A and B are shown apart, each in its own frame.
Chain A
Amino acid sequence: MERAIVLMGCAIGAGLALIAGIGPGIGEGYAVGKALESIGRQPECKGDVTSTMLLGCAIAETTGIYGFVTGLLLIFVAPGIFMGLL
């Protein structure tokens, strides 16, 4: 019974942790939209804008990656630790 509760908690927590993916999704979409706008205004800056946008996107992705790492820890590491405590 305790094992089931531990596993259930970890699984629900992992699912909740991946909600963190929403933020970077919105943020990156916004950044790409702005980049497209600026390319539309100044098509000759396409290369510069694209590389800067990719860099910014990859950095904006960080919070989503935190959520993902937390989810991974909850699935693969946390059950072992909590089972050991029981």
Chain B
Amino acid sequence: MNVSITGPRIYFTIPILGGIPITETIVNSLLVTLFILGMCIFLTRNLKVRAVSKRQVVAEFLVETAQNFVNGNMGVRFSYYGPFVAALFASSILGSLLSLLGLFPPTSDLSTTGAWAVMVFVLITYNKIRSGGLGGYLLGFTQPIPVLTPFNILSELATPISMAFRHFGNVVSGSVISTLVYAALAAASAAAIGLLSGTGFVPAIVALLGCALLVTGLRQHKMLKKILGGIIAALGLLGVLSYVGIQLDIPILQVGIPAVLSVYFDLFSSAMQAFIFCMLTTLYIANAAEG
């Protein structure tokens, strides 16, 4: 059983400043950035006031949604943060969704989410200093009593760390669990074929049962029955082949079953984490500017 859970691979190293490694994260982040740039250029060409095209409707919908989100969370006076938050959201969600294409998602590297969190931290600090002045900002650490200063500094530093770790941990936990499930299913299908192939009779029955389930599913238009029937039929067929002497090492149980996990970890979790990251960004910045 080969389970490999690795970080980003290093493609090559630029030999300046002690060597700058070019990793999968950098390449895939650039891919995402180029995709977003391409979409922006594609969606905003030929903007008109009347007789708008479908493309423009999509673009307007996206921009309005982002702007409403920022205005609703931070107030209209911070509406200039709209592009920043929208860029964060787009990078985050598209970066996480890259895992659907089988590429390394940039958000499952702590460097990416860490960089975003540091940007947000800089903005928070900038807004705090701007609203209260440098003296007010520094005095804020000694509130409510000076004894609490170390804890205040710690809690200030905890903000970016928790944001980075939350996003990173969610994406990585998804990919780790998916990898483990894939490995387990490969082992399980090998074991099942080995178990079935003792005789020629049993796998034939299993294959027939699977075919029956598949046909029932096709008649009733039930997706689950179709998939399960197909998998069971293929399992029986592989068992027969293995009994005859043709060893095919096909992890048949990996078909279809991990899709359930993928829907949660790749689609739902990606969207959720992108949304939460942007939500926290807006709330923290607005809070800093008011405090």
Residues of A within 8 A of B (CB): 54-55, 58-59, 61-62, 65-66, 68-69, 72, 76
Asked whether, in the complex, the Cβ of B273 is within 8 Å of the Cβ of A66, the reply is: no
Q: What's the minimum C-beta distance from B101 to chain A, rounded to whole angstroms?
A: 24
Which of B28-36, B138-146, B165-173, B254-262 sits within the interface? B165-173
Asked whether, in the complex, the Cβ of A61 is within 8 Å of the Cβ of B166, the reply is: yes
Residues of B within 8 A of A (CB): 5, 7, 162, 165-166, 168-170, 172-173, 176, 272-273, 275-276, 279-280
Residue of B nearest to A63 (CB): B162
Asked whether, in the complex, the Cβ of A58 is within 8 Å of the Cβ of B273, the reply is: yes
- Assembly CA distance A65 to B176 (angstroms): 13
Task: Give the chain B neighbours of A61 by CB distance below 8 A.
Answer: 166, 170
Residue of B nearest to A65 (CB): B169
Q: What's the minimum C-beta distance from B72 to chain A, rounded to whole angstroms?
A: 12
- Among the listed B168, B172, B173, B276, which residue makes an inter-chain contact with A58, where contact means beta carbons less than 8 Å apart? B276
Task: Give the chain B neighbours of A68 by CB distance below 8 A.
Answer: 169, 172-173
Task: Give the chain B neighbours of A58 by CB distance below 8 A.
Answer: 166, 170, 272-273, 276
Task: Give the chain A neighbours of B276 by CB distance below 8 A.
Answer: 55, 58-59
Asked whether, in the complex, the Cβ of A65 is within 8 Å of the Cβ of B272, the reply is: no
Task: Give the chain A neighbours of B162 by CB distance below 8 A.
Answer: 62
Instruction: Give 22 pairs: A residue, B residue, CB < 8 Å, sorted on A.
Output: A54-B272, A55-B275, A55-B279, A58-B170, A58-B272, A58-B276, A59-B276, A61-B166, A62-B165, A65-B165, A65-B166, A65-B169, A65-B170, A65-B173, A66-B165, A66-B169, A68-B169, A68-B173, A69-B168, A69-B172, A76-B5, A76-B7
Task: Give the chain A neighbours of B169 by CB distance below 8 A.
Answer: 65-66, 68-69
Task: Give the chain B neighbours of A65 by CB distance below 8 A.
Answer: 165-166, 169-170, 173
Asked whether, in the complex, the Cβ of B172 is within 8 Å of the Cβ of A72, the reply is: yes
- Among the listed A55, A59, A69, A76, which residue makes an inter-chain contact with B165, where contact means beta carbons less than 8 Å apart? A69
Asked whether, in the complex, the Cβ of A62 is within 8 Å of the Cβ of B272, the reply is: no
- Assembly CA distance A2 to B169 (angstroms): 31
Task: Give the chain B neighbours of A55 by CB distance below 8 A.
Answer: 275-276, 279
- Assembly CA distance A76 to B273 (angstroms): 24
Task: Give the chain B neighbours of A72 by CB distance below 8 A.
Answer: 172, 176
Residue of A nearest to B275 (CB): A55
